[in-house]
Structure 1
Amino acid sequence: MASQGFYQRLQQLPPVAQQAFMAALCERLLPNYALYQEATGQGNYAGLRAVLDLVWEHLKVKNAKIDFEKQAEKLAECEPPAADDSFGARRALEAVVALAALLDTLQGEAPGAVLEVSRTSRGGVRAFIELTEGEDDAAALALLVRDHPLMEDENDFQDAVLEAVSQPLERETLKQVQRLGRNDGVSNLGLSLE
């Protein structure tokens, strides 16, 4: 679990640093969406990838003209079907929801978006641990989640991204943050297309 200090630091970041943080987390959620599409034939990974690439372009290129309202419309079309309540669909939806929250900040005020994206990513990890470990006792499950290697990895990852975006965000720093987010194609659930 993240400490209050972590969330406080996140909220105190300038908007562009918050956006870079969210973009890095979205990068790490994308493989879950790709796996869902591969498994079901549903979804539009290329569409999601294109929207996130435009976000990075906006962050790296001064005065890049991007219509984020239009991108938000394209993103909405990438949501898994509402009738699909599978585990994969929920993880795919998290990638869409996180990216939508990021687009909200690029279109104006969305003060809680950075916390929402952070919690969405952790929530997916928690759900995966609950699914794979099958612990019924709530207290035991809470401990299991807290101490699980995947949750430790998620917390370490978010800490590392927070540190990275707390520096002046030059183009090179943003490239490092993007690479960090891509995590060699491994998602927050430890899954990849490989």
Structure 2
Amino acid sequence: MQDSARPSFYQQLRELQPFQQQIWATALAQRAAPNYLLFAEVTGSEHGPAFKQLLALAWEGVISPQSRINWPVQQEKLPALLPDPEATHLYGVYPALDAATGLELVLDEAVMPQTETAVDASKLSRATVRHYLEQLCPEGMTLEEAKQWIRHHPLMEDEQDFQDELLHQIQQLERPFSPLVREIKNLAMNQGVSNLGISLD
């Protein structure tokens, strides 16, 4: 019998402590990173290294208690990294923009913790996958059939499984700078494969 008193998935995210929300957002930004880096590589953008540096600082901020990072200064670097969908016809600009937006959530949370950061990051990652699958949806489907096709597509099921496992691991963290954060980082890196199944390799 299902426990009706159990908080919903998003409510569990809202109940995470600020340091847990920060780790959650950083993990989802890490998983989306190949989407940004591949787009930068394909378009010859010079912003790939800066994106990777900001992401590395985000991990340093949740792994190392000795880190002293000026987050407002890091925030100022982000607008230049946001790709412009109107400047290219490539579909990859959209998941790249989502990845940069996810990193923006990380930096915003570091500056000023918010109860909705983890929820926003979760919804953003799901939306990236959903929008991508909408481009692949077989023609001739009704709207309801398309929704079901997307819901049960392996990429969407993998997204759900990843977020479920990530939440489980983060809920085990009882204090900041736990050694377990490195395991969460490894989970998020996913051997270099993004939430869209994209790998730089």
TM-score normalised by structure 2 residue count: 0.89
Counterpart residue number, 1:95: 99
Q: CA deviation at 1:132?
A: 1.5
What is residue 122 of structure 1 aligned with on the other side?
126
Q: Structure 2 CA distance, aligned partners of 1:51 and 1:96?
A: 10
1:183 is matched with which residue?
190
Counterpart CA distance in 2 for 1:97 and 1:84 is 17
Cross-structure match for 1:17: 20
Partner residue in 2 for 1:65: 68
Aligned to 1:145: 150
Unaligned runs of 5+ in 1: none
Match of 2:3 in 1: none
Unpaired stretches in structure 2, ≥5 consecutive residues: 1-6
Would the aligned equivalents of 1:10 and 1:18 in 2 still touch at CA under 8 Å? yes
Which is further off, 94-103 or 83-92? 83-92
Q: Name the larger-Rg structure.
A: 2
CA contact (8 A) 1:102 1:114 kept: no
Amino acid of the residue matched to residue 84 of structure 1? A
Deviations 1:9-65 (A, max 9, x none): 111111111111111111110000011112111351211111111111111121421
1:6 corresponds to 2:13 = no
Instruction: Compute the displacement of 1:82 (Å).
Output: 4.8
Structure 1: how far apart are the matches of 2:114 and 2:178? 24
Query: How far off its partner does 1:172 sit?
Result: 2.0
Q: Which of 47, 52, 66 is the equivalent residue of 2:50?
A: 47
- Output the CA distance in 2 between the equivalents of 1:62 and 1:30: 24
1:43–1:80 Cα contact (<8 Å) kept: no
Following the alignment from structure 2 to structure 1, what is the Cα–Cα distance between the partners of residues 10 and 33?
A: 23
**Is the 8 Å Cα contact of residues 43 and 79 (structure 1) preserved in structure 2?**
no
User: C-alpha displacement at 1:116, in angstroms?
Assistant: 1.1
Is the 2:95–2:128 Cα contact (8 Å) retained in structure 1?
A: yes
Q: CA RMSD in A?
A: 1.8
8 Å contact 2:71–2:111 — kept in the other structure?
yes
1:154 alignment partner in structure 2: 159
Mean Cα deviation higher: 77-86 or 169-178: 77-86
| Aligned residue in 2 for 1:163 | 168
Q: How many aligned residue pairs are there? A: 192
Could you tell me how far apart the structure 2 residues matched to 1:23 and 1:7 are? 17
Specify whether residues 132 and 142 from structure 1 end up closer, same or farther in structure 2 by C-alpha distance, changes over 3 A only. Answer: same
Moved more, 62-71 or 123-132: 62-71
Q: Which has the larger displacement, 114-123 or 43-52?
A: 43-52
Deviation above 3 Å: which 4+ runs of structure 1?
Answer: none
Q: Among all aligned residue pairs of Structure 1 and Structure 2, give the percentage whose two residues are the same amino acid.
A: 35
